[in-house]
Chains A and B, each alone.
Chain A
């Protein structure tokens, strides 16, 4: 059975290590914050200028001056800091942020990512996505393996306009966890419970590398 969005987020949360500074994109990545393992100290960066993002405020305690990059009202935590947008992307560019988690429409077998523009549709803009993918040393992409029509979004080559090139090394989808190898290709690491390797093969248009036993994804 394929994973829900929450389960994808839960699986990605297991990649977060103690002491990490983490930037979470909009969509499934935002949900990762709900599953950070207990006992692990993580500082969330919001690229509009905050380190130490806390949970949503209680009803009535919203502060219009305190939002995240998704424009949602949030809170700060002890140890938080505030800075301007240039410094925010400065720390991203300088690779001070340990882990970036973002969504994608397509990823290619050489690590290219497309997540900002669909030709013929209203273009909203790339926001901070191009800066993040170009600079982050450690990016995990949370995405759907196949679209509603059953077509693969893990491709030999992206068809949509690119956000960044050769920058993605790990992907978690509703079907699998995969690494992108430096020489190219999606290396299958784990599969969702009950999902067959054959189905993952069918669902991956790009080069899929399967070696040895592929364990099922675990959330605990």
Chain B
């Protein structure tokens, strides 16, 4: 068995350098790789291209990297929760490529499945379609969208084993499995790391072949973006 365990976030990201293209899992603040983001902030790598559904909030998640101006370009579907992001975007310090959420996910999937491109109806007839090839199948137009090409994918899972197999918990799964498949090098941080053999092979979400480095993260904050509750009747 190939052992993929590294000591922690610092070691896991040690060869991420300026200008790298990174995928970062998560939806909003749910299921984001907190440990690796903090390590990237400490390492102060710059000019990063970040593919992530959202851009964090001002003081958490990718927002921490934005604050230090480590990000050159964000590729996201929705970035509305971050004032510093807005400031950098309006001042021209930051580039942003907004793409439909399903297109974002499926471009990850295509990369992980070894397919160079996908056809999707999302964005046909809108500014998203500008400059893109359109093909008609069965009387309906589809845009050709390319598979992503990312140097690193950084994901967060609930459990993982020393062989790199991953299990996600609840809706913190979101983009994590498809990004895990899509990176040239995939780094997984997990809440609980166990020995190979302890996870039931039938319940693995991401097979270890897609994961190159794994470690047990620490001090997860798991911040809630919109705390909504109902009253006890």
Residue numbers of A with Cβ under 8 A of B are 46-50, 55-74, 76, 82-86, 88-90, 92-93, 112, 122-131, 134-135, 161-166
Contact = CB atoms under 8 A, between A and B. Distances in A.
Contacts of B222: 64-65
Contacts of A164: 124-126
Nearest to A135: B121
B122 interface: yes
B102 A128 contact: yes
Contact of A125 (B78, B121, B125, B227): B78
B126 A163 contact: yes
Contact of B122 (A61, A67, A88, A134): A134
Contact of B77 (A58, A60, A126): A126
B63 interface: no
A85 B101 contact: yes
A86 B108 contact: yes
B226 interface: yes
A58 B89 CA distance: 38
Nearest to A125: B78
Contact of A71 (B30, B106, B109): B30
A47 B53 CA distance: 12
B30 A64 contact: yes
B38 interface: no
Nearest to A131: B102
B80 interface: yes
Given A67-B28, A84-B105, A134-B123, 10 more contacts: A55-B230, A59-B231, A73-B227, A73-B228, A82-B171, A85-B102, A85-B104, A86-B178, A88-B102, A134-B124
Closest A-B pairs by Cβ, 9 of them: A89-B102, A124-B80, A131-B102, A165-B125, A64-B222, A125-B78, A134-B121, A85-B105, A130-B100
B101 A89 contact: yes
Interface in B215-233: 222-232
Given A135-B122, A164-B126, A93 B232 contact: no
A74 B228 contact: yes
A124 B78 contact: yes
Nearest to A75: B230
B176 interface: yes
A85 B30 contact: no
A128 B101 CA distance: 5
A84 B173 contact: yes
A134 B175 CA distance: 21
B27 interface: yes
B171 A46 contact: yes
Interface in B99-127: 100-106, 108-109, 120-127
Contacts of B227: 62, 73
Given A47-B101, A84-B177, A86-B178, A131 B30 contact: no
